[in-house]
């Protein structure tokens, strides 16, 4: 971290290194944003969309080689390699700084360096953190303006808070005098570096202008660097949605949900329940910062102030509220464009247009064999445009958490929902969660589970074993009874014909209702070797076309499948090495013996 007094010196030093033609300090006004957008349009880096269809909205098209987070070019540069652990790409911090210093040298020639003061978290929250990002990408600037609290008011707050995370970013494409710029400058993959120095709380990102690689407040600060700060300071930075659930009597609970990327977190956080009288409101869709107050309960804030959601597959049916949010004032990246200058992507409502401009700016017709929108096409929109934003989303004191959901895409074995026996067993569930690999990932490993502990695999800024121990330590700090209950949910169970059994979307509210009522112990559960599953008839299926057999498949325990699962988790635990918490190995052994020798009348759950 650096102090307010060090800010100007650091900006000067980085400017001397990167050699921009000019420096612009962003203030965050509407007038400034309009100026930036006009410049982006006049230099052909952005396309202004039809104001009658999509007012205040713009589309950007990236270089085809720069379309997503690059995990293999993301580095954790801790002093000791063993502090990065087996799941991160480690680099020696000094060596990495030397390499990157040479890349940054002169990298902003012919360009403007923008100074972005930004805040992650509500003003006045005990967890909120300030970052200052230097960047030569105006696309990054206009996105950061939506995704974070941004501009002069953050500099004011910095005078008080007196600590910021320095973040240096360049697309790595300097311009010689007279050289024409590219629409989306970036570097070849081997020159991209998304570097984190967790001990120094420093971020350097070079060579990519896209999403998580370049909007440094998000995955880099709010997860990788914040996870290390959180461990050191006894709080948690997690890859989780935060939703507010209200029952027909008006009682509310706040729920966290950890799901791997592309498992529908944004959709769940904005869900419209099919159950009459139930309501979901959004506090956050991707990241939660969580701390324990003196009452021993967990409270959470959303450090972001915008959504960077996947466009492909988003429709009024799959996520009505997201579609409403992006009707105006939205930035779209790598979507297709209709002939009347609106946006289009696979899965959006309505007829497929006869003609489009695809994300590579080529003509596209129904006969085209390539997708019109990139699968990782995105919308960026301010949280303020979400029709179901919870009014307390921005309150500095956070919201009190009653339940934590974990889950992934598991076509077999894992039931629709099961509740942990207690905190340690819940951490075990989070440690082994993940998704089955499909043809879309690595074909020779189809059917294998990619374990993704608490959906944090690409985002833990230190050793995964220490991270799991931190979860256990957080629990030890409290009376276990005060902590949220932990549930494993799986919407993705399939039948023998390969079809999803659970209808998903708004029907997930039926599972949320069961979870809500379990928190009050007002609905029945059945104790099984893997935890508590819904008692027969305890999930409200009113009006749902689901056979009893199907519901039983979603509810009952497949003992052989689970014994196979135990072996697979054991293999996975080996990869974590000696830092795997002993408690988790014990949980695994206990699960195995419950699966082999379970007796519901003689089951001691006291030590949970
Ligand atoms: O590909 C990117 O750069 C975006 S990744 C992303 C964006 C929003 C929310 N979550 C994620 C993720 O990868 O988990
Ligand atoms: Mn995410």
Question: Residue 68 Cα, ligand 1 centroid: separation in angstroms?
Answer: 8
- Nearest ligand, CA of residue 458? 1
* pTM, to two decimals: 0.97
The 3-state secondary structure of 49-68, one letter per residue: CCCCCCCCCEEECCCCCCCC
Q: What is the chain's mean pLDDT, rounded? A: 96
Question: Residue 71 Cα, ligand 2 centroid: separation in angstroms?
Answer: 13
Is 433's pLDDT higher than 60?
yes
Q: Mutation test of ligand 1: which of 68, 69, 205, 306 has the most ligand atoms closer than 8 Å to its C-beta? A: 69
Ligand 1 atom closest to Cα of 67? 1
CATH number at residue 293: 3.90.228.20
Q: 362-376: per-residue pLDDT in tens?
A: 999 999 999 999 999
Give the model's pLDDT for residue 413.
95
Kindly state if the Cβ of 374 falls inside 6 Å of ligand 1: no
605/608 Cα distance (integer angstroms): 6
Six token digits for residue 588 = 């695994």
Question: Residue 528 Cα, ligand 2 centroid: separation in angstroms?
Answer: 32
List, in sequence order, every beta strand (DSSP E) within 350-493: 355-357, 363-365, 378-382, 399-407, 417-419, 434-436, 449-451, 485-489
Give the model's pLDDT for residue 439.
59
Residues spanned by the domain of 433: 238-305+392-600
Q: How confident is the model over 391-417, as a mean pLDDT?
A: 97
Kindly state if the Cβ of 62 falls inside 6 Å of ligand 1: no
Q: What angle do CA 31, 34, 361 make, to 5 degrees?
A: 170
Q: 548-562: per-residue pLDDT in tens?
A: 999 999 998 999 999
How distant, in Å, are the alpha carbons of 130, 132, 218, 356, 573 from that of 155?
9, 9, 19, 43, 45
Q: How confident is the model over 412-433, as a mean pLDDT?
A: 97
On whether residue 68 sits in a domain, the answer given is: no
Give the model's pLDDT for residue 504.
83
Q: 234-265: per-residue pLDDT in tens?
A: 999 999 999 999 999 999 999 999 999 878 89
- Nearest ligand, CA of residue 71? 1
Give the model's pLDDT for residue 441.
54
Minimum CA distance residue for ligand 1 atom 11: 261
Minimum CA distance residue for ligand 1 atom 5: 212
Give the model's pLDDT for residue 444.
63
CATH number at residue 184: 3.40.449.10
Question: Residue 577 Cα, ligand 2 centroid: separation in angstroms?
Answer: 26
Residues 281 and 412 in one domain: yes
Residues 14 and 93 in one domain: yes
Q: How confident is the model over 515-541, as a mean pLDDT?
A: 96
What is the total count of domains within the chain? 3
Residues 270 and 138 in one domain: no
Kindly state if the Cβ of 376 falls inside 6 Å of ligand 1: yes
Query: 503: Cβ–Cβ under 8 A, 6 or more apart, which residues?
Result: 544, 546
- 26, 167, 220, 263: which one is catalytic? 263
DSSP code of residue 264: S
Residues 288 and 147 in one domain: no
Kindly state if the Cβ of 284 falls inside 6 Å of ligand 1: no
Question: Residue 263 Cα, ligand 2 centroid: separation in angstroms?
Answer: 9
- Nearest ligand, CA of residue 379? 1
Which of 233, 259, 288 marks a domain boundary? 233
Kindly state if the Cβ of 458 falls inside 6 Å of ligand 1: no
Residues 359 and 226 in one domain: no
CATH number at residue 381: 2.170.8.10
Please, which pLDDT band fits residue 505 given cuts at 50, 70 and 90?
A: confident
Residues 594 and 561 in one domain: yes
Is 463's pLDDT higher than 60?
yes
Q: 141-151: per-residue pLDDT in tens?
A: 999 999 999 99
The helix (run of H) or strand (run of E) holding residue 336 is strand 336-338
Give the model's pLDDT for residue 438.
67
Residues 228 and 246 in one domain: no
Please, which pLDDT band fits residue 607 given cuts at 50, 70 and 90?
A: low
Helix axis angle, 423-432 relative to 559-576, nearest 10°? 80
On whether residue 346 sits in a domain, the answer given is: yes
Question: Residue 311 Cα, ligand 1 centroid: separation in angstroms?
Answer: 12
Q: Mutation test of ligand 1: which of 207, 212, 260 has the most ligand atoms closer than 8 Å to its C-beta? A: 212
List, in sequence order, every beta strand (DSSP E) within 107-240: 112-120, 129-135, 149-150, 164-170, 193-197, 202-206, 236-238
Residues 359 and 221 in one domain: no
On whether residue 151 sits in a domain, the answer given is: yes
Q: How confident is the model over 11-23, as a mean pLDDT?
A: 98
Is 87's pLDDT higher than 60?
yes
Give the model's pLDDT for residue 52.
98
Q: How confident is the model over 19-40, as a mean pLDDT?
A: 98
183/199 Cα distance (integer angstroms): 36
Q: Is 18 an annotated catalytic residue?
A: no
Kindly state if the Cβ of 259 falls inside 6 Å of ligand 1: no
Is 103's pLDDT higher than 90?
yes
């Amino acid at each position: 971290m650096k102090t307010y007094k060090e800010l100007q010196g650091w900006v000067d030093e980085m400017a001397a290194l990167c050699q921009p033609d000019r420096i612009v300090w962003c203030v965050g006004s509407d007038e400034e944003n309009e100026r930036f957008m006009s410049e982006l349009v006049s230099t052909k880096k952005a396309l202004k969309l039809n104001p009658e269809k999509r007012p205040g909205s713009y589309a950007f098209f990236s270089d085809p080689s720069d379309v997503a987070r690059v995990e293999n070019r993301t580095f954790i540069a801790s002093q000791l390699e063993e502090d990065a652990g087996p799941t991160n790409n480690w680099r020696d911090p000094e060596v990495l700084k030397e390499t990157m210093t040479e890349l940054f040298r002169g990298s902003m020639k012919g360009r403007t360096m923008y100074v972005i003061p930004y805040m992650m978290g509500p003003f006045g929250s005990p967890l909120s953190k300030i970052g200052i990002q230097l960047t030569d990408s105006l696309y990054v600037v206009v996105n950061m303006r939506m995704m974070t609290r941004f501009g002069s008011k953050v500099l004011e707050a910095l005078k008080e808070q007196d600590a910021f995370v320095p973040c240096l970013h360049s697309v790595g494409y300097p311009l010689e005098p007279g050289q024409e710029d590219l629409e989306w400058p970036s570097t070849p993959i081997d020159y991209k570096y998304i570097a984190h120095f967790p001990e120094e709380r420093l971020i350097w990102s070079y060579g990519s202008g896209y999403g998580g690689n370049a909007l440094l407040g998000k995955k880099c600060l709010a997860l990788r660097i914040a996870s290390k700060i959180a461990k050191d300071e006894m709080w948690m930075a997690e890859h989780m949605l935060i939703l507010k659930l209200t029952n027909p009597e008006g009682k509310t609970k706040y729920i966290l949900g950890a799901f791997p990327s592309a498992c529908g977190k944004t959709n769940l956080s904005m869900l419209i329940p099919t159950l009459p009288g139930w309501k979901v409101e959004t506090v956050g869709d991707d990241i939660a910062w969580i701390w324990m107050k003196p009452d021993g309960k967990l409270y959470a804030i959303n450090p972001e102030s915008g959504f960077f959601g996947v466009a492909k597959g988003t429709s009024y049916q799959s996520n009505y509220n997201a579609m409403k949010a992006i009707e105006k004032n939205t930035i779209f990246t790598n979507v297709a464009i209709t002939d009347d200058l609106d946006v289009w992507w696979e899965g959006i409502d309505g007829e497929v247009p006869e003609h489009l401009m695809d994300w590579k700016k080529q003509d596209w017709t129904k006969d085209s064999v390539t997708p019109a929108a990139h699968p990782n096409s995105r919308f960026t929109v301010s949280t303020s445009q979400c029709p179901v934003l919870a009014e307390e989303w921005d309150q500095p004191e956070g919201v009190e958490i009653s339940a934590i959901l974990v889950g992934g895409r598991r076509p077999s074995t894992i039931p629709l929902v099961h509740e942990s026996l207690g905190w340690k067993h819940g951490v075990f569930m989070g440690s082994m969660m993940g998704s089955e690999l499909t043809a879309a990932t690595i074909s020779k490993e189809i059917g294998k589970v990619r374990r993704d502990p608490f959906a944090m695999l690409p985002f833990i800024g230190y050793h995964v074993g220490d991270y799991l121990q931190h979860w256990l330590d957080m629990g030890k700090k409290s009376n276990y009874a005060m902590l949220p209950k932990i549930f494993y949910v799986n919407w993705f169970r399939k039948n023998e014909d390969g079809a999803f059994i659970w209808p998903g979307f708004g029907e997930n509210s039926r599972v949320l209702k069961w979870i809500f009522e379990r928190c009050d112990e007002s609905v029945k559960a059945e104790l099984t070797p893997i935890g508590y599953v819904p008692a027969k008839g305890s999930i409200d299926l009113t009006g749902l076309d689901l056979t009893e057999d199907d519901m039983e498949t979603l509810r009952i325990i497949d003992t052989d499948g689970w014994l196979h699962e135990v072996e697979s988790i054991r293999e996975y635990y080996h990869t974590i090495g000696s830092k795997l918490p002993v408690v988790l190995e014990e949980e695994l052994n206990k699960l195995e013996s419950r699966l082999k020798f379970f007796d519901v009348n003689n089951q001691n759950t006291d030590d949970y």
